[in-house]
């Protein structure tokens, strides 16, 4: 791990973009909606000091919404592994980086995921201000980038930036950039600054209490049912949650045979577990809502992944039409006697 001084983020971004396709959160055409988009001449230079929370996390770069697994050409099954060109994701926030680390583990043996993941270098960015609805400090996912979660990390310090290398691949990308090594105190300062940024986040006691109750099975079944009634099975939460990974697969006809496509699924759909016989182990909406939150906050998953399935990004709250995103749910859970 080494640290350098950087004058501006654009300097690094443009240097990297000259080497490989680079994706970074930007405002899509004439709007105030940040999305993951490729950097190009046509992209106006946007202010990147304050990291933008793109609508989607980075998961679709590795686990795309729809992906062909294999083809059947009429005689045999042919695996269709992606052959991705090397790429860079620039400006990934700590919550989303934690989720990538989580999915790296989850998809450890998945060749499709791994092919894309291995072709990608991650440039993280430390958040200096809480974002709307975010609560990363409560689930140990931010605000600063955790060790080992990115290839490069950018950290703003006054009018300049600290650039920290976390992998040799990351460091290799810097070749040709004339950078000054940063003083040791810059790094210590970064470390001591994180609690100050974390302290600016609004209180998240409802999340902490909610986590406790979920793990002690103290949430009344009726509350899950009431909240289940509010779930419109839109799949928004599972689409946007950076750690959600469920998929379904189906055969699509193509010219000379079939291809098997896998596509994002949602455990909130009524028929997610329904079997061919009609039997459905999670027929009640309340069960499915509970399932989602169990999967995000049960200690059971810490055993496997070393962290909760929730990284505190707050996206589910923003997108849930039924008002049962993370804050709404945890507030109600923590308010039960």
- Where does this chain bind ligand SF4 (CB under 6 A)? 231-237, 240-243, 266, 268, 296, 310-316, 319-322, 324, 326
Q: Which of 108, 115, 69, 117 is nearest to 260 (CA)?
A: 69
Provide the CA 299 distance to its chain's centre, in angstroms: 20
| Cα 50-54-55 angle, rounded to 5 deg | 145
Residue 310's binding partner out of ligand SF4, another protein, none, with CB under 5 to 8 Å set by partner kind: ligand SF4
| Cα 86-312-90 angle, rounded to 5 deg | 25
Both structure tokens of 307: 């962290």
Q: Quote the least distance from Cβ 322 to ligand SF4, whole Å.
A: 4
Residue 217's binding partner out of another protein, ligand SF4, none, with CB under 5 to 8 Å set by partner kind: another protein
Residues 91, 36: Cα–Cα separation, whole Å:
10
Q: Quote the least distance from Cβ 197 to another protein, whole Å.
A: 24
Residue 83's binding partner out of another protein, ligand SF4, none, with CB under 5 to 8 Å set by partner kind: none
In this structure, what DSSP letter does residue 131 have? P
Alpha helices in the chain (DSSP H): 9-17, 94-106, 111-118, 168-173, 184-199, 205-215, 221-230, 236-240, 285-297, 299-305, 315-319, 326-335
Distances from the Cα of 207 to the Cαs of 142, 204, 287, 314, in angstroms? 15, 5, 20, 12
For another protein, the closer CB: 5 or 55: 55
Residue 62's binding partner out of another protein, ligand SF4, none, with CB under 5 to 8 Å set by partner kind: none
For ligand SF4, the closer CB: 165 or 311: 311
For ligand SF4, the closer CB: 6 or 324: 324
Q: Quote the least distance from Cβ 285 to another protein, whole Å.
A: 9
Residue 241's binding partner out of another protein, ligand SF4, none, with CB under 5 to 8 Å set by partner kind: ligand SF4
Provide the CA 241 distance to its chain's centre, in angstroms: 7
Helices 205-215 and 285-297 sit at what angle, rounded to 10 degrees? 110
Residue 237's binding partner out of ligand SF4, another protein, none, with CB under 5 to 8 Å set by partner kind: ligand SF4
Residues 150, 100: Cα–Cα separation, whole Å:
9
For another protein, the closer CB: 9 or 268: 268
Q: What is the dihedral of CA 29, 42, 47, 165, to 10 degrees?
A: 120
Q: Quote the least distance from Cβ 63 to ligand SF4, whole Å.
A: 14
For another protein, the closer CB: 62 or 269: 269
For ligand SF4, the closer CB: 280 or 319: 319
Q: Quote the least distance from Cβ 121 to another protein, whole Å.
A: 17
Residue 142's binding partner out of another protein, ligand SF4, none, with CB under 5 to 8 Å set by partner kind: none
Q: Quote the least distance from Cβ 298 to another protein, whole Å.
A: 6
Q: Quote the least distance from Cβ 111 to ligand SF4, whole Å.
A: 26
For ligand SF4, the closer CB: 113 or 269: 269
Residue holding tokens 């004439």?
A: 30
């Amino acid at each position: 791990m080494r640290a350098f001084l950087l004058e501006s983020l654009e300097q690094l971004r443009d240097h990297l973009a000259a080497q490989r396709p680079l994706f970074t959160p930007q405002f899509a055409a004439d709007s105030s909606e940040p999305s993951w988009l490729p950097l190009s001449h046509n992209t106006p230079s946007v202010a990147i000091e304050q990291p933008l929370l793109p609508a989607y996390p980075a998961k679709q770069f590795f686990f795309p919404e729809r992906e062909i697994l294999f083809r059947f050409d009429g005689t045999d099954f042919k695996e269709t592994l992606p052959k991705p060109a090397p790429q860079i994701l620039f400006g990934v926030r700590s919550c989303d980086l934690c989720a990538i680390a989580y999915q790296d583990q989850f998809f450890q043996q998945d060749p499709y995921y791994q092919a894309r993941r291995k072709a990608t270098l991650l440039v993280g960015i430390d958040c200096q201000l809480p974002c709307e609805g975010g609560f990363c400090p409560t689930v140990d996912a931010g605000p600063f980038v955790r060790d080992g979660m990115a290839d490069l990390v950018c950290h703003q310090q006054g009018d300049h930036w600290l650039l920290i290398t976390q992998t040799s691949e990351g460091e290799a990308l810097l070749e040709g950039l004339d950078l000054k090594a940063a003083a040791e105190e810059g790094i210590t300062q970064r470390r001591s600054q994180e609690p100050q940024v974390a302290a600016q986040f609004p209180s998240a006691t409802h999340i902490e209490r909610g986590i406790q109750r979920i793990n002690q099975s103290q949430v009344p079944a009726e509350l899950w049912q009431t909240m289940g009634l509010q779930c419109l099975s839109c799949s928004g939460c599972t689409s946007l949650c950076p750690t959600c990974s469920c998929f379904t697969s189906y055969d699509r006809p193509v010219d000379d045979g079939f291809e098997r496509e896998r596509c994002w699924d949602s455990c909130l759909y009524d028929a997610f577990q329904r079997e061919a016989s009609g039997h459905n182990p999670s027929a009640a909406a309340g069960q499915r809502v509970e399932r989602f939150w169990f999967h995000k906050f049960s200690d059971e998953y810490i055993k496997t992944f070393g962290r909760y399935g929730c990284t505190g990004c707050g996206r589910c709250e923003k997108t849930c039409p039924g008002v049962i995103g993370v804050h709404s749910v945890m507030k109600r859970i923590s308010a039960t006697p």
